[in-house]
Amino acid sequence: MANEMTGEGDIFLECKNLRKSFTVKRKEIRVLKGLNLSVNRGEIVAIVGKTGAGKSTFLRVLSGLEQQTSGSVIFEGHRMENLSNEELALLRRENIGIIFQNFNLLPSWTAYENVEAALLHIGMSKTTRREKVKTLLNNFGLGDRLDNLPSELSIGQQQRVAIARALANEPTLILADEPTGEIDTETAQDIIGHLITPVREKGVTLTIATHGIFPLDIADRVFYMKDGMLVSQQ
Ligand SMILES: Nc1ncnc2c1ncn2[C@@H]1O[C@H](COP(=O)(O)OP(=O)(O)O)[C@@H](O)[C@H]1O
Ligand SMILES: [Mg+2]
């Protein structure tokens, strides 16, 4: 397989004429108005846009958590709109890591339990799972915070737990929604390092949404989301 990964032309994720509208009080809000995008395997793509531009909606559609109104999302050759909810859930569990805008950590679960959640129901023994979660959190400098609840962690630490959870199932695709949204520049650099290193080492494909302050130079390509469309920077 690896020798087929020729980089250029090895399309991993594709959107074709992707549209998404919401109907609120009988009024149609058109958010995505015909997006086209091809992302190669191992590529880091940044989507930049103002608040309300549709970045989170786009990532939710890419993850299969939200159904598009029309158009296609093709993940490793599979048209996601043809998959059942169960198939989509399986695809997410096994292949996709999601870092949500507000982390989405379960407040009554410890750091350990939050990361472990990503490894349930994929046929992994409890012993292997425990080793894996501990190693991951250790790598993120949280080896001594396993039993802490999110409320007992700093924002930066919570963000690292969220990233550890997204990496736990060794996804081929990571969708990161404003991963440095709420934190100071120094913590942001640290978090980006934690995210980018495993992504580059393992050839994971990463799509990052950001509304502004973000070191865009870590991305291979940058797109702007404007008026429901994606515009390439270069
Ligand atoms: N579930 C929903 N129902 C109605 N409108 C929504 C829903 N989700 C998002 N929107 C609208 O879609 C637009 C884009 O939102 P969003 O994707 O969150 O943008 P961004 O992440 O770029 O800030 C906003 O106008 C928002 O109000
Ligand atoms: Mg958003």
Query: If you measure from the C-alpha of residue 31 to the centroid of ligand 1, how many angstroms do you get, rounded to a whole number?
Result: 7
Query: If you measure from the C-alpha of residue 130 to the centroid of ligand 2, how many angstroms do you get, rounded to a whole number?
Result: 33
Residue with tokens 């737990």, as numbered in its chain: 161
The residue to mutate among 20, 21, 22, 207, having the most atoms of ligand 1 within 8 angstroms of its beta carbon, is 22
pLDDT in tens, 85-113: 999 999 999 999 999 988 899 999 999 99
| Ligand sitting nearest the alpha carbon of 48 | 1
| pLDDT classification of 9: cutoffs 50, 70, 90 | low
Q: Tell how far CA 22 is from the center of its chain.
A: 22
What pLDDT score does 169 carry? 92
Q: Distance between CA atoms of 33 and 9, rounded to whole angstroms?
A: 25
| Fold of the domain built from segment(s) 2-102+172-232 | Rossmann fold (3.40.50)
Query: If you measure from the C-alpha of residue 128 to the centroid of ligand 2, how many angstroms do you get, rounded to a whole number?
Result: 35
| Residue 4 clears pLDDT 80, i.e. is over it | no
Tokens of 223: 């797109």
Q: Where are the beta strands (DSSP E) in the chain?
A: 11-24, 27-40, 44-48, 70-75, 78-79, 96-99, 173-177, 205-210, 221-226, 229-232
70-75/221-226 β-pairing: unpaired
